[in-house]
């Protein structure tokens, strides 16, 4: 299937500097804003953009277009968008493992897979205690111990839009696949676990609870060298209409979170769509406003200081004065 043409012009969305879309909520964010950097729209025409992951060795970005059942590739040299894999089993989140291989969450097959360097697909997880997983959603790899962590809500089995309807066989959860391939059920009490990430030193695990009521929440756990979690604590309580989704962490431990309106019927745009940036202690310090709700994001680019944002029907980018914790 050919990639649709972008629905509007590409390039910077603002003509003035500094870009008014990059909002400073606390003075700590000023040092992260580049005066002459603007939010850029790189591509459009997607049905629901998700799961961006940067491949610096090839200077390209992969991201999911879940309802269209494809993984797309955006090339940094040409600026072109092309199809990387279709069908993709309605893939959602992606990451790279410690060997640089693509690891993916697939809704349709309800599994986590790894793409080997020669293109073969290896199944890493599809069942736990004999029951099928729900619909693996987001994933983090590239860890020093070789482990892969992923969230497993039931979003992909609710209908035909992002997978196929099915009854869940497991509670929502967060799982860990160790370097030997062992699958462990690590967190069992979150409603809609979604984005997840580690602090730069891997001592803290962050997980977004996107179906918590009445507010979406971001939780943190201390993470031991053997994978055990302890000292659960609340970092962010999105106590307004904003909704948290995916996330990325920079080298200083700041949390860059996909953010947007909670989609109340008939509600007017409320200026929440985009990326909300939090200090490691949960204080909001900045907001990158986008015309669309942002689902997920990652750092990449030649210097690691370009923030790529998968937002509803488009891919956006912004250069910032920091780099991602995962390079």
pLDDT tens string, the chain, 327 residues long: the values are 444 444 344 677 877 899 999 999 999 999 999 999 999 999 999 999 999 999 999 999 999 999 999 999 999 999 999 999 999 999 999 999 999 999 999 999 999 999 999 999 999 999 999 999 999 999 998 788 999 999 999 999 999 999 999 999 999 999 999 999 999 999 999 999 999 999 999 999 999 999 987 778 999 999 999 999 999 999 999 866 778 999 999 999 999 999 997 665 555 557 899 999 999 999 999 999 999 999 999 999 999 999 999 999 999 999 999 999 976
H or E stretch covering 22 = strand 22-24
Q: Was 245 annotated as part of a binding site?
A: yes
The SS3 call for residue 174 is strand
* 89 is annotated as contributing to ligand binding: no
The full set of domains in the chain, from first to last, is 11-319 (2.120.10.30)
Q: Write the DSSP string, 185-235.
A: EEE---SSEEEEEE-TTS-EEEEEETT-SSSEEEEEEEE-TTS-EEEEEEE
* From 69, 152, 245, 273, the catalytic residue: 245
Q: Do residues 197 and 322 lie in contact, with contact meaning Cβ atoms separated by under 8 Å? A: no
Task: Say if residue 131 is exposed, middle or buried (CB neighbours under 10 Å; 0-12, 13-18, 19+).
Answer: exposed
> Which segments of 47-108 are extended strands (E)?
49-55, 60-65, 70-75, 81-85, 91-96, 102-106
Tokens of 38: 């603007």
Q: Is 231 annotated as a binding residue?
A: no
Q: How many angstroms separate the CA atoms of 266 and 21, rounded?
A: 24
Q: Is 296 annotated as a binding residue?
A: no
Active-site residue, 145 included? no
């Amino acid at each position: 299937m050919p990639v649709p043409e972008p629905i509007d012009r590409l390039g910077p969305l603002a003509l003035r500097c500094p870009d008014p879309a990059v909002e400073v909520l606390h003075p700590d964010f000023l040092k992260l804003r580049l005066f002459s950097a603007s939010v850029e729209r790189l591509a459009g025409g997607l049905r629901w953009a998700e799961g961006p992951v940067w491949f610096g060795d090839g200077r390209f970005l992969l991201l999911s277009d879940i309802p269209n059942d494809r993984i797309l590739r955006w090339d940094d040299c040409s600026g072109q968008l092309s199809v990387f894999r279709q069908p993709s089993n309605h893939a959602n989140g992606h990451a790279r493992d410690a060997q640089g291989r693509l690891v993916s969450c697939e809704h349709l097959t309800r599994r986590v897979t790894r793409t080997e360097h020669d293109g073969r697909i290896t199944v890493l997880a599809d069942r736990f205690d004999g029951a099928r997983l729900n619909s693996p959603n987001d994933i983090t790899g590239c860890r020093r111990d070789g482990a892969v962590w992923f969230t497993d809500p039931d979003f992909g089995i609710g209908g035909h839009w992002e997978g196929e309807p099915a009854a869940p066989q497991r509670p929502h959860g967060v799982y860990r696949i160790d370097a030997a391939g062992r699958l462990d059920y690590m967190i069992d009490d979150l409603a809609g676990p979604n984005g997840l990430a580690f602090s730069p030193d891997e001592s803290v695990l962050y997980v977004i609870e996107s179906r918590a009521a009445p507010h979406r929440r971001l939780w943190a756990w201390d993470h031991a060298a053997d994978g055990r979690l302890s000292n659960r604590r609340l970092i962010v309580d999105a106590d307004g209409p904003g909704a948290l989704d995916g996330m990325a962490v920079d080298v200083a431990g700041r949390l860059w979170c996909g953010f947007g309106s909670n989609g109340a019927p008939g509600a007017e745009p409320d200026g929440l769509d985009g990326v909300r940036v939090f200090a490691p202690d949960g204080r909001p310090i900045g907001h990158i406003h986008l015309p669309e709700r942002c689902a997920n994001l990652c750092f990449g680019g030649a210097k690691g200081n370009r923030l790529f944002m998968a937002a509803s029907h488009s891919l956006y980018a912004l250069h910032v004065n920091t780099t991602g914790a995962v390079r």
